[in-house]
């Protein structure tokens, strides 16, 4: 059965940032240079071709975009300036939209206005909700304990609810990702125990982001900074997530500093601050590393919100500890107004990489093993379905 070409897809991908893919004339220099391409997963050229031709079915089955960590080598030496690196990035954005069952991700990528509007509305609703709560049930002059404007028990419940909601959305989307990439693709038979054999890939890649570093190691002058910073940032998130979800009541208590909890908070804040400053700087300078030369509008929303969160978070902490509960409460509300839309946006944005990247590595490991097994068994070359 021939595969149907969708000539419209290439225009759709414009919204996701693949603006130069049409220039590619398939010399294959990009694939030849890529650190991560191997005998099973051949990219970026093949992915570029599928995109040019609008082979949707192949693209949504693809795991290749998750294997690319955008070192930018391919883009910097592309003779046609077709920007394969950014094309892979665009494909990741497009895939996030594909996996997302709510359709919100797609909407955000296609229309910047809708995203900004959704963030503003969520932020305002959060603000109004907490202000009303505090106005009727609390006292602006009290930060913590009895009669607090925003009691930590309330925040805890709120956090857990929010976390569960995001967790459920992500779980459903992860399931959809599995169905599209592994389950629906029947040409490769996957024995169930392969899922167990490769399960270690999930935590391994989640915590080390080893492939990001591998990208750099291939360069003539490796720049490990983005990888280390990225790791800092990511660990910062995780620590903060654990603190907020489980230890918010200890965290909010005070004004005395509870070192047992706060030491982690400070560590996380340092990581987040360094990360935020570094990435804003890179995107503004647009020169240090190729992956920061182009910024999708959604990338900017992410860093701007993050900046607000980091600043308000630190400031409210200082206000609180130095005995200025009113100022602390006000900055806390501002902090929450940025945190809530930022968190809610997670499954629909680049933040979802946190989940899809390790999953992508996990699934890719399984598929590769399955293909090699099948080849050995049947004695023929089994083409990667993508």
Q: Which of residues 7-66 bind other proteins (CB under 8 A)?
A: 7-8, 10-11, 22-23, 25-26, 46, 49-50, 52-55
5 lies in the binding site for other proteins (CB under 8 A): yes
> What secondary structure letter does DSSP report for 148?
B
Q: How far apart are CA 20 and CA 85, in angstroms?
A: 11
Contact 184, 99 (CB under 8 A): no
Q: Which is nearer to other proteins, 10 or 245 (CB)?
A: 10
Query: What is the rounded CA–CA span in Å between residue 282 and residue 289?
Result: 8
**Per CB under 8 A, which of residues 204..243 are in contact with other proteins?**
none
User: Does 193 contact other proteins by CB under 8 A?
Assistant: no
Q: Which is nearer to other proteins, 2 or 221 (CB)?
A: 2
Distance CA 79, CA 45 (A): 13
Interface positions, 94-113, toward other proteins (CB under 8 A): none
Is residue 2 a contact point for other proteins (CB under 8 A)? Answer: yes
Check residue 3 for interaction with other proteins (CB under 8 A): yes
Q: How far is the CB of 7 from other proteins (least distance, A)?
A: 4
Q: Which is nearer to other proteins, 79 or 167 (CB)?
A: 79
Q: Min. distance of Cβ 184 from other proteins in angstroms? A: 18
Which CB, 48 or 306, lies closer to other proteins?
Answer: 48
Contact 31, 43 (CB under 8 A): yes
**11/217 with CB nearer other proteins:** 11
Query: Is residue 130 exposed (0-12), middle (13-18) or buried (19+ Cβ within 10 Å)?
Result: buried
User: Helix, strand or coil for residue 50?
Assistant: helix
- The count of chain residues that interact with other proteins, using the rule CB under 8 A, is 19
Complex with other proteins: residue 54 or 226, whichever CB lies closer: 54
Select the span of 2-10, 70-78, 267-275, 316-324 touching other proteins (CB under 8 A). 2-10
- Residue 380 is a binding residue for other proteins (CB under 8 A): no
Nearest distance, CB of residue 70 and other proteins, angstroms: 23
Q: How far, in Å, CA of 233 to CA of 98, rounded?
A: 26
Nearer to other proteins, 4 or 141 (CB): 4
Instruction: Kindly state the smallest distance separating residue 41's Cβ from other proteins, in Å.
Output: 15
Q: 46 or 350, CB closer to other proteins?
A: 46
Shortest spacing between CB 385 and other proteins, in angstroms? 11
Q: How far is the CB of 187 from other proteins (least distance, A)?
A: 13
Q: Taking the complex as a whole, how short is the minimal distance between the CB of residue 21 and other proteins, in angstroms?
A: 9
Closest CA to 233 of 267, 201, 264: 267
Residue 187 as a binder of other proteins (CB under 8 A): the answer is no
SS3 labels along 344-375: HHHHHCHHHHHHHHHHHHHHHHHHHHHHHHHH
Residue with smaller CB distance to other proteins, 114 or 187:
187
Contacts of 179 (CB under 8 A, 6+ apart): none
- DSSP letters for 258-297: -HHHHHHHHHHHHHHHHHHHHHHHHHHH--SSGGGTS--H
Of 4 and 197, the one with the shorter C-beta distance to other proteins is 4
Find where tokens 């300036």 sit. 81
Burial 248-267 (b: 16+ CB within 10 A, else e): beebbbbeeeeeebbebbee
* Count of C-beta atoms within a 10 Å radius of residue 121: 11
**Residue 188 touches other proteins, criterion: CB under 8 A:** no
Residues 106 and 104: their CA atoms lie apart, in Å, by 5
Please report how close the Cβ of residue 49 comes to other proteins at its closest, in angstroms. 5
The contact set with other proteins (CB under 8 A) reads 2-5, 7-8, 10-11, 22-23, 25-26, 46, 49-50, 52-55
């Amino acid at each position: 059965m021939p595969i149907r070409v969708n000539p419209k897809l290439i225009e759709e991908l414009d919204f996701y940032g693949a603006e130069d893919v049409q220039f590619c004339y398939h010399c294959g220099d990009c694939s030849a240079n890529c650190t991560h391409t191997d005998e099973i997963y051949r990219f970026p050229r093949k992915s570029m071709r599928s995109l040019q031709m609008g082979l949707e079915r192949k693209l949504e089955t693809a795991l290749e975009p998750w294997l690319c960590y955008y070192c930018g080598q391919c883009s910097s030496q592309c003779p046609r300036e077709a920007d394969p690196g950014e094309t892979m990035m665009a494909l990741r954005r497009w895939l996030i939209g594909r996996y997302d069952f709510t359709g919100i991700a797609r909407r955000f990528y296609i229309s910047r206005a809708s995203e900004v509007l959704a963030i503003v509305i969520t932020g305002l609703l959060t603000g109004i909700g907490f202000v009303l709560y505090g106005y009727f049930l609390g006292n602006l002059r009290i930060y913590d304990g009895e009669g607090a404007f925003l009691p930590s028990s309330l925040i805890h419940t709120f956090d857990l609810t929010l976390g569960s909601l995001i967790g459920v959305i992500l779980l459903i989307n992860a399931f959809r990702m599995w169905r599209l990439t592994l389950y629906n693709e029947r040409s490769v038979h996957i024995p169930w125990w392969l899922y167990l054999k490769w399960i270690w890939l999930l935590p391994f890649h989640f915590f080390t982001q080893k492939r990001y570093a591998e990208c750099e190691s291939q360069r003539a002058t490796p720049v490990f900074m983005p990888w280390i910073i990225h790791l800092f940032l990511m660990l910062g998130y995780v620590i903060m997530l654990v603190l907020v979800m489980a230890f918010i009541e200890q965290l909010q208590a005070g004004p005395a500093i509870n070192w047992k909890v706060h030491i982690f908070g400070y560590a996380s804040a340092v990581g987040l601050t360094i990360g935020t400053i570094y990435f804003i700087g890179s995107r503004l300078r647009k020169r240090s590393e190729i992956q920061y030369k182009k910024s999708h509008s959604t990338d900017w929303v992410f860093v701007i919100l993050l900046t607000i969160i980091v600043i308000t978070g630190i400031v409210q902490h200082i206000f609180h500890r130095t005995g200025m509960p009113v100022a602390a409460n006000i900055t806390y509300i501002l902090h929450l107004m940025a945190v809530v839309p930022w968190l809610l946006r997670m499954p629909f944005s680049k933040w979802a990489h946190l989940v899809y990247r390790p999953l992508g590595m996990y699934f890719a490991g399984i598929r590769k093993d399955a293909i090699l097994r099948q080849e050995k068994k049947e004695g023929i070359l089994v083409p990667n379905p993508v």
